[in-house]
Amino acid sequence: MRNDFPLFKNMKNYGFYDQLSKYELNYVFSGIFGKPVRYTYADIYDKNGNLLYHEEYNGYWDKKEYDENGNMIYNESSLGYWTKNEYNKNNHKIYSEYSNGKWSKREYDDRGNRIYYERSDGFWEKRQFDENGKLIYSEDSNGYIKDNRWKI
């Protein structure tokens, strides 16, 4: 068996050993004594460990862009889909726009709890938290109400 590439253990990939070639393509061993078989993808990461580009053997790919804080601000696939995201100063996602024309937006309180969510299809949700960050009230556009506040 030819084995002139460095070998890396990565149990995330279905429990097999990954092998990274000089062309940055991933390979998997079918076992310690098995023959190497070409794995189904190639990934490229930036210096912070963020996935920038993913490509599969069948030609499917997707690419991502990140802001200076590591938040994904753009994602595009070979199928023609894309997503754009905006974040607040605390790195909470506040707005998303999708290639199908839909969008979603979020608002947060000072402690980082999501207090409002709305989608382009008309759905919305409001939430209220106590001083310890526990959800005490929520309601949405479908009429669902959950009220855990003390009532006197």
Residue count of the chain, please give it.
152
| Helix segments in the chain, DSSP class H | none
Mean pLDDT of 103-126: 97
Q: What is the pLDDT of residue 144?
A: 96
Mean pLDDT of 41-64: 88
Whether the predicted model's global pTM rises above the 0.85 cut: no
* Residue 59 confidence class, pLDDT cut points 50, 70, 90: confident
The CA-atom distances, in angstroms, between 148 and each of 116, 129, 134, 135 are 17, 10, 10, 8
